[in-house]
Structures are given as C-alpha cells and as structure tokens.
Structure 1
Amino acid sequence: MPYRRCSRASRRSHPRQGAVSVKHRTPLRKRLTVGLAAAALLGAGLSVPALTAGADEPRAAASCGATDAQIYTPPGSAPASPGTVIACRETKLPEVPGNIPMKAWKVQYSSSDNQGKPVAVSGTVAVPEKTWTGGGPRPVIAFNPGTLGLGPQCAFSKQLAGAYQDMYEGDNIAAALKAGYAVAATDGAGYLNGQTHPYVSGLDAGHALLDIARAAPGVPGSGLGKDAQVGLWGYSEGGQASLWAAQLAGKYAPELKVAGVASGGVPGDLKVVAKGLNGGPFAGFAADAVIGLAASHPAMPFDELMNDQGKEAIKKAKSLCLAGTIAQFAFNKIDNFTKDKLTLDQLYALKGTDGKTWGQVVDEQKLGVGIGPAGSGATHRIAFPTFQYRGLLEEVIPIETEDATRQAYCKAGIPVKWKTYAGEHLTTDNMASGDAVAFFGSRFQGKQPENNC
C-alpha cells in the first residue's frame, strides 16, 4: 500500500523539459524523510483499432503506431474481451538500470472492473533481446507496482519511460529482464485521462494484472507466446494486487499458465491497515484508499460526507505522487475531512444506494478468504505455490495482517514459501528481489515448491 525505496535508476535524471540535472535531483528516500519531518513539525497520431479477439486468444494489433497521447486517452468503449491490445507504441525504459538490451512498448489494453464491465488500462511490456534458451516459450512476469500516488503523472509506464516523479522499482524490472523473462507491468486501472485509480480495490487490481499477461503476446514484435508460463509479482499495493490476481486466476483467466506468485508487504486486511495508518505519518495512504474505493464503488456515500477541507484534500490527493502524498497528509485523521467528524467505525456503518455498508466494501478486499487448492471447491482455487514475505522492522503495514494472510493461505492448504528480511518497509522490497526472481526460476523449471508453513 505505501512507500518504498528508490531504485538506482530513479536516483538519476534524464534530459527533458523542466528536468533537474543529475547532480541536483534529490533521492526519494531523502525527500520522504524531509517531507515527513516537515509534516511532523507542522502537525498537519495513428489510430490503432480496438480488437475483438476472445479472452483466451488476444489477437495482435496490426502495428504499434499509437501516439503517446493515445495510450493515455480512454477509448469510446473498451473491447469486451479482456486482454485485447487496444493501442501500443515502442518506447525506451531509461529508468530500468543496467543498460539491458530490450524491446519495450507502452500499451493500452482491455480489462474488467469490479462489476465485470470492460475498461481500458495502460501499462508496459518489455522483452529482453537475448535469445531465450530455457524450455518452452519465454516466461512472462506480470508485475504490479507499489503505491505511486493518484496523480495521472504518477503512472508506472510514464515513469519507466523517463517522465520521472518518484518511481522506485526499476531494479525489480531489471532483475526479471536479466533473468531472461519478459515483463508485463500494469499501471493499474485509472491512470488514463480523466480517471481515478481504484486504489486497493482487489477485483480491479487482480483483473488488470492478469489481463496485461493476456495482452503481452498480442503486442506486435514481442515474440511472446500465449502458452508462456506466467509469474505474478508485486510488493505493498502490488503485493495485494498480485495475491488478488492469484485468487482470481482460476476462474477469470483459466487459460493463463500461472506458475507462481510472489507477494510482499501485503495489506491483507484493510480495516487493520486503516486503523494503523489513520492519524499516523503514513495517513496519506489511507486517504488514497478511501478515494480509490469510492471511485470503484460509486454506490457508496462519499462526496456528500466531505467538509470543505475534505473536498480540497480529495482534489489535492488526485494530483500528487508518492512523496507528496506522504508529506501532505501526515498525521491527519479521516474525521478531520468529514462534515460530522465521522470516525472509521462510523463510516463503516454507512450504507450505499445498493444496500451495502462501507464496512462490507472494505471487508470484500480482504485476502485469504474463501481460498483453497485446485479441486477444493473453494471460491478462489489456487493451483500454484506462493512466495510471501515482509520486513522484520515493518513500520507501515501492521505485521499482524501480513502474518494473518500467510496463515490463511497455509491453513487453506496452499504451499507458501515464507521469509522475513532484516529491513523496514522501505528496504525489504529490494532485499527480496533476488529471492523473488529465484522463486520464479524454480517454478518455471517445474521444481518441487518450497513450503515452510
């Protein structure tokens, strides 16, 4: 859900209008520290046609001739078949370190929202130029970034391509590419013009991640096969998204050959997370969560509950990326933004026009509910092992919810490789990167999964 580290690539600038020079760019870690301290002191072109291929066989677009603007402009209507390539354009990824020879594309593809309605989503597909020498077609890592902020400029695909804000996961993308795997990295829904990212909405996130794996073979020139093995990977917000994708894969995308999922820093129970964030240094992520769930669940009361400060806060949050979100909302409580000073428990009791309460909506995002192995008859049948991890010095996501998610998977009989690292939330993602890539390697080779439940 919240922040993490800055990759090596993200600590350098790239020439563009308005960019600061390399020697003057302040690293993300330092800017987050400065922002938190300040908050504490203050106390507050060519048209690419939509395709209609089936979800189990996304058809390649004729060419990747879309303009950059077209990638981020929503189509009049999204194709009904999830995983359809709507538009694509070749790009460079200067924020991926290591000078890895690759081909890369920005893509717009079709997915489904939490109600099953077609939506368009943006993302990145990257394929190493080095010939794949492993067995079968080149595997694909479907990657979901951690929290970047709600502003449209924060989209992962924009930042990877050089429009740097405060992106921090170039190292993870590089690690997967160096291993020879293709990467299909979703921005997540809601980063197209005029939209709001449905932050921490499980179905929206899981669908978007699975659908970019479906879409990747449809990118002209990718050379990827629709029968490639797929790994799902993410940390923090991305950890929640990747586990939701794992839970949904069997029913939503049964044709994908998902071999395993690596998920770290997982905010498994949003009520536990919200209680820990509200009024604390990372309260901005709670603000983003409320905005994201309101955007993805329009039947719920939201705008009418806000006072003037709340309305301004919503506007501000929708314009900010990671560091700005932390600094802007540190130590604020949700009740400061509502007309009636509503507490979290009071908000949870409110009903929407569909009869659901806010509490029910939040509970629906909880991971590890209704899960079981293949053939179990569970609502969410997971036919592959998981790698779950967290930091021993975790200070953002309450460790009880991370541990509870792992325990729920173990109790359900799903293989779990569990590992903790001697880091806090900021550094653990980087510490686990090598182990995550190694986990996928063993999975793609069909080795016996490690299970230390």
Structure 2
Amino acid sequence: MNKLLAAAMSLVAAMGGLVSDVLPSPGNDEITCDATDEAIYGSPEQVEADPGVVLACAASDFPEIVTDIPITAWKVRYASTDVHGTRVPVSGLVAVPEAEWRGEGPRPVVAFNPGTVGLGTQCAYSKQMAGNYTDAYERYQLAAALEAGYAVAATDGVGYLDGQVHSYMVGDNSGRALLDVARAATSLPAAGLAESAQVGLWGYSEGGQAALWATQLAGSYAGELDIVGAAAGGVPGDLRLVAGELNGGDFAGFAGAALVGFHVTYPEMPFDELLNDTGREAVAALEGSCLIDTIFDFRGARIEDFNTDGLGPAELFELTGPDGVSWGEIADRQKLGVGIGTPGSGAEHEIAFPTFQYRGKTEQIIPVETEEATMRAYCAAGVPTRWRDDIEGDHLGAARAVIPDVLDWFADRLAGEPEPGDCG
C-alpha cells in the first residue's frame, strides 16, 4: 500500500466512521430559535435580507464527543452573497461556551470553515456537529476553540440546502459565507455575543482557501467586523496546479468534486455535453458523497475517462463559454494572493490584519508549490504573515497537530500583540 492510500485509510480509522418562494426577512432581534430543520436546510428561497441576517435558527444538540464542556449551540440559516452578487441563504452553526468569558472585552468569535466534507447535503458540517457524523476529524478544531472560551461560528458553505450542490472550491462564495456567519453569530440575540466582538478567521484545506478569501474580501465586504487575524493551512491556492496534480492520483475525487462545484456555479459553461456515461455516473455519485466516498470511490480516477473527447485538466481549462471566458480564466479568479495589498495601497483587496499560514511537514495532497506561492504573494504584498512548513504530519495529520499553535497565535492577536511576520 502506498503512502497516499495509507494516509487516507488512517483518516478512516480516526473518523470511526423550498419552504416558500420568499421567506420573510426579519431583523435578527425578531428571530426566535425554534425553527424546524426544514426551515434551516430546506430548499433555497429568494433572499432580500442584508448579508449576515439570520433567517432561521434552532437549538442544536452538541455531542460530548466534540467537547465535554457545557455548550449552547444553534443551527442557523443566514443571508450571504454569492460570486454573482446574488443574495443567497446559507446554513451553519453557532456555538458558545456556557462558562463566563473572563478575558478582556466581549467574548471573541472564531469564524470557522471546515475542510472538505463532501458535496452531499447530508455532509453539511452543522449536521455533522449535531450528531449525524460526530466522528468527523474536524471536531478537534471546533472543540479547541470552544475550550479556549471562544464562541465559534461555523459555515457550511454555499450549496448545502435541499436540492443544492456545494460550490466546492469557489473561493469568492466561501469567503463571503465565512464573513457572513461571523455577522450572523454576533447579531443572534440568543448567543449573547457583542457585535463589537473581535473575530478570528480559521480554516484548513478547503477551509484554508475560504479563510484567505475572507481575508481578501473583508475590507470591501465586511469592514465593520473587527478581525484580528486569519489562520489558514493546507491551502489550495492555485486550482490549475492542484487539478493537474490530483488527476489520476489517490485523491482524484477532490479534483472531480471541484469540477462539479464549478459547474453548479457557472452552469452556462461547457460541462454536461462533454460527459460520457461514466462521467454522468461519476457526477451523480460525487453530488451525493461525503468525504470518505469521495476519496475511496474515485481513487486513481482520470478526468480523461469521464468525457467523450478524453480531455485532461489542461484541455478542459481551454474550453470557453458563450461569453468567451474559459474554464481556466474562471479557475484563475480563485487564485489566492492576486491583487492584494495593505490598507492605502490601492490594491483590489486591501488586507488590514495578519495571517498565519502553515502546512504539514509531509504534505501529500496539496502541491507544496502552491502553498508556498500563496505565502510568498502575501509577503510580497506587505501583509504580515507567519509561515510554518514544519507542522508534524501529512495533510490530514497537520490539521490536528497545529491546533495549539493556532490558538496561541489567536491569543496574541486578541491581546493586541503585533505580528511582524517572518517573511524574511
């Protein structure tokens, strides 16, 4: 058994295993958290509410397998904005320790985006944490933040409502959804959080992409949030490079899922007409799969085998849609570190807080070149950035091993300690 497959199998062992055409858009102070699951996860409606407004909420179970400290949690449905500028509903989770916050100022909020959980609606992170898949490995990050006394606002991301497919790897969508779940948490009356609360952004792998997209969009999209820093690891910063490296390998399912995520976001682009019977079966399977099936059912899969012309990633990226835009150009729009700068620089994305970027010492899923290129782009733009490329473990192991470092880093940022970065 090769090392890549062994890594995936170690994850298995560690894991053990439309409500109406238009919903009313009450202000957050009018929300009572007694909604049904249908109101939280039902088919998407037309949204008129401002980004971050809570559309529905309900008390959520919180299994002791996540943490044994007393927690109060809510599943939420809230308003966000997608890559096309359309207001959309998104689901997520808000959790607050019952113990009094004893730090300075109001209780801080960690806005968290999980790594890949799969495209199926049953895989939504808030459902996992409510008991359906409580052995999910990312419970450790959630537990650590809560045990440090922080509130957690975790987004499921765009596309986990009934009848939807997750817009996997569309960074603009994920960044906005992450910022908006922080807004939702700090304005949810039941949570008792202050709108002035300091916020930390955190994510790994897909979540790392989301955390850095939220970092890049924060100034223009959510400037009222008091964000102290963003911690992002295992980041797939260049999707062209990642797709080519994953294709045909042990984690090829992630590349396939990204193609599906792009398709549901840009349905006008060539896709369905390219598929052969095997490809149609693969898309249907991916749309209903969680993480483990995405890994094992597509191990060694080649994109060339799923389309009628035998096109690989490079050839697919050259195909254009009706407006002349290519798939490659759309992928390039997701590339991190492009058009960034510090406040007053005039950059498209002005970043006013530091980042902590990291990867596992034996990273085997995301090409190291793209992780390092993203870090260098942030450094070149003058964004104070701490960099660690020596976290113990592979891609999956590092997500857990780095937790103490991330929490120490957040504690320093929340205390107002400067982060000079170590860009050299």
> Structures share a fold, TM > 0.5?
yes
Deviations 1:285-330 (A, max 9, x none): 0000000011111221111110111011000001111111111111
Q: Which is further off, 165-174 or 61-70?
A: 165-174
Equivalent residue of 2:402, what SS? helix
State yes or no: 1:434 paired with 2:404: yes
Deviations 1:337-374 (A, max 9, x none): 00111121211111112321001001111000000111
The one of 113, 133, 140 aligned to 1:164:
133
Equivalent residue of 1:414, what SS? coil
Partner of 2:92: 123
CA RMSD of aligned residues (A): 2.3
TM-score, with structure 2 as normaliser: 0.94
The answer to which structure, 1 or 2, has the higher relative contact order (CA under 8 A, 6+ apart) is: 1
Provide the C-alpha distance between the structure 2 equivalents of 1:27 and 1:91, rounded to a whole number of angstroms: 30
Partner of 1:137: 106
Deviation at 1:226, TM superposition (A): 1.0
Retained in 2: the 8 A contact 1:32–1:323? no
Retained in 1: the 8 A contact 2:244–2:314? no
Deviations 1:46-97 (A, max 9, x none): 99963355xxxxx334311101222101353123410010000001221653
Q: Which is further off, 306-315 or 420-429?
A: 420-429
Equivalent residue of 2:190, what SS? coil
TM-score, with structure 1 as normaliser: 0.88
The one of 70, 79, 84 aligned to 1:101:
70
Retained in 2: the 8 A contact 1:160–1:170? yes
Partner of 2:24: 50
Partner of 1:361: 330
Deviation at 1:422, TM superposition (A): 2.5
Retained in 2: the 8 A contact 1:299–1:352? yes
Retained in 2: the 8 A contact 1:5–1:430? no
Q: Which is further off, 204-213 or 220-229?
A: 220-229
Change (3 A) 1:431 1:28: closer
Provide the C-alpha distance between the structure 1 equivalents of 2:374 and 2:212, rounded to a whole number of angstroms: 10
State yes or no: 1:241 paired with 2:210: yes
Provide the C-alpha distance between the structure 1 equivalents of 2:184 and 2:108, rounded to a whole number of angstroms: 14
Provide the C-alpha distance between the structure 2 equivalents of 1:270 and 1:95, rounded to a whole number of angstroms: 37
Retained in 1: the 8 A contact 2:31–2:57? no
Q: Which is further off, 93-102 or 316-325?
A: 93-102
Deviation at 1:165, TM superposition (A): 7.1
Retained in 2: the 8 A contact 1:335–1:342? yes
Retained in 1: the 8 A contact 2:117–2:125? yes
Q: Which is further off, 179-188 or 350-359?
A: 350-359
State yes or no: 1:311 paired with 2:285: no
Partner of 1:30: 13
Provide the C-alpha distance between the structure 2 equivalents of 1:415 and 1:248, rounded to a whole number of angstroms: 17
Change (3 A) 1:380 1:167: same
Retained in 2: the 8 A contact 1:64–1:220? no
Equivalent residue of 1:107, what SS? strand
Change (3 A) 1:49 1:306: closer
| Count of matched residue pairs | 417
Provide the C-alpha distance between the structure 2 equivalents of 1:363 and 1:151, rounded to a whole number of angstroms: 26
Equivalent residue of 1:271, what SS? helix
State yes or no: 1:417 paired with 2:386: yes
Deviation at 1:228, TM superposition (A): 0.8
The one of 189, 200, 208 aligned to 2:177:
208
Equivalent residue of 1:119, what SS? strand
Provide the C-alpha distance between the structure 2 equivalents of 1:393 and 1:423, rounded to a whole number of angstroms: 6
Deviation at 1:203, TM superposition (A): 0.6
The one of 320, 324, 327 aligned to 2:296:
327
Deviation at 1:246, TM superposition (A): 0.3
State yes or no: 1:149 paired with 2:118: yes
Provide the C-alpha distance between the structure 1 equivalents of 2:70 and 2:14, rounded to a whole number of angstroms: 31
Identity of aligned residues (%): 53
Equivalent residue of 1:407, what SS? helix
Equivalent residue of 1:146, what SS? coil
Structure 1 unmatched ranges of 5 or more = 7-25, 35-45, 54-58
Retained in 1: the 8 A contact 2:45–2:89? no
Structure 2 letter corresponding to 1:163: N
Partner of 2:234: 265
